[in-house]
Structure 1
Amino acid sequence: MRFKLFLIGASLLGTLESTAQRPDSVTRYIDSAIQVFKEHSLYAATVNWKQVQDSVDLLSQTATTYKQADASIIWAFSQLKDKHGFVATNDSFYRYSDGETRVLSKGILAEYKKPRSIKVEVLANKVGYYKMPSVQIGSNTAKMKEWANNLSDSLCKLLALQPRSLIIDLRMNNGGNSAPMFEALKPLLGKSYTTYGANSQFKILKKESDSATLAYQQHAIPDRLCAPTNPSMRIAVLIGPGTASSGEILAMALSSRSNTRLFGEKTIGVCNATNGFLLTTNAFYCLLVENYVADYKQKINKAQIVVPDVYVKSDNDNYTSPADDPTVQAALQWLSKKK
Structure 2
Amino acid sequence: MRRPALLLSFLLFFIISSYGQKNEVRFLIDTTISIMRENSVNASKVDWVKVKQEATEKANGIESPYQLGPVMRYLFQSVDDFHGSFFYNDSAFNWQKQVNIVSDSIMNEWKKGPAIRKKMLEENIAYLRIPSMPAGSIAEFSQKAQELNDSLCQLLNNSPKGLILDLRLNGGGAMHPMILGVQNLLPSGKVGEFQIKKKEDWLLNNNSFLIDTAVLATIVPKCIKQARQLPIVILTGAQTGSSGEFLIMTFKGRPNTILLGATTAGYVTVNNGFQISDSAAMNLSIGYGADRNGTVYTEALKPDIFIDGPDSFNDLANDVKVKAAIKWLKKQ
Amino acid across the alignment from 1:181? M
Give a deviation string over 1:55-88, Cα, whole Å, max 9, x none: 3334446667655667545533332221111112
- Out of 279, 295, 299, which is 1:299 matched to? 295
Post-superposition Cα deviations, 1:294-320, rounded to whole Å, max 9, x if no partner, equal 1011111132x11111111132x1222
Structure 1 residue 205 and structure 2 residue 199: aligned?
yes
Q: CA deviation at 1:128?
A: 0.7
Structure 1 CA distance for aligned equivalents of residues 159 and 120 of structure 2: 10
Pairwise mapping of residues 177-326 of structure 1 onto structure 2 (< 5 A)? 177-190=174-187, 194-199=191-196, 205-207=199-201, 217-218=215-216, 220-224=217-221, 226-281=223-278, 283-303=279-299, 305-315=300-310, 317-326=311-320
Question: CA distance change for structure 1 residues 319 and 193 in 2, over 3 Å: closer, same or farther?
Answer: farther
Q: Measure, in 2, the Cα distance between the counterparts of 1:123 and 1:255.
A: 25
**Looking at both structures, which has the greater relative contact order when contacts are Cα pairs under 8 Å and sequence separation is at least 6?**
1
8 Å CA contact 1:192–1:254 kept in 2: the answer is no
CA drift at 1:96: 1.0
Report the AA paired with residue 75 of structure 1.
Answer: Y
**Identical-residue share of aligned pairs (%):** 29
Q: What is the distance in 2 between the residues matched to 1:207 and 1:261?
A: 24
Equivalent in 86, 100, 103 of residue 101 of structure 2: 103
SS at match of 1:273: strand
Contact 1:105 / 1:314 at 8 angstroms: preserved in 2? no
User: In 1, distance between residues paired with 2:247 and 2:60?
Assistant: 45
Q: Distance in 2 between matches of 1:113 and 1:61?
A: 41
Give CA deviations for 1:77-106 in whole Å, capped at 9, x if unaligned.
3322211111121253222122x3323333
Aligned to 1:8: none
2:158 counterpart letter in structure 1: L
Residues 21 and 183 (structure 1), Cα distance of their counterparts in 2 relative to 1, 3 Å cut: closer
| 1:159 aligned partner | 156
Report how many residues are paired. Answer: 308
Contact residue 86 and residue 95 of structure 1 kept, 8 A: yes
Q: Which entry has the higher C-alpha Rg, 1 or 2?
A: 2
Which residue does 2:8 correspond to in 1? none
Let me know the Cα RMSD of the aligned residues.
Answer: 2.8
Residue by residue over 1:9-67, the C-alpha shift from the partner in whole angstroms, topping out at 9 and shown as x without a partner, is: xxxxxxxxxxx999766644432221111111112122210112223334446667655
1:127 to 117, 125, 128: 125
1:115 match: 113
- SS for the counterpart of 1:276 is strand
The answer (yes or no) to whether the contact 2:117–2:128 under 8 Å persists in 1 is yes
CA–CA distance in structure 2, aligned partners of residues 102 and 222 of structure 1: 35
Specify the SS of the correspondent of 1:262: strand
Which ranges in structure 1 are unaligned for 5 or more consecutive residues?
Answer: 1-19
Aligned partners of 1:297, 1:111: CA distance in 2, in Å? Answer: 35
1:34 is paired with a residue whose SS is: helix
Question: Is the Cα contact below 8 Å between 1:165 and 1:235 reproduced in 2?
Answer: yes
Provide structure 2 residue ranges, at least 5 long, that are not aligned to the other structure: 1-18, 204-209
Q: Distance in 1 between matches of 2:58 and 2:116?
A: 48
Task: Supply the distance in 2 between the matched residues of 1:106 and 1:193 (Cα, whole angstroms).
Answer: 38
Check 1:150–1:230 CA distance in 2 against 1; reply closer, same or farther (3 A cut): closer
Aligned equivalents of 1:70 and 1:238: distance in 2?
35
Give me the TM-score of the superposition, normalised by structure 2: 0.83
Cα drift, residue 182 of structure 1: 0.7
Relative to structure 1, is the Cα distance of residues 233 and 115 closer, same or farther in structure 2, using a 3 angstrom cutoff? same
Report how far residue 117 of structure 1 moved.
Answer: 1.0
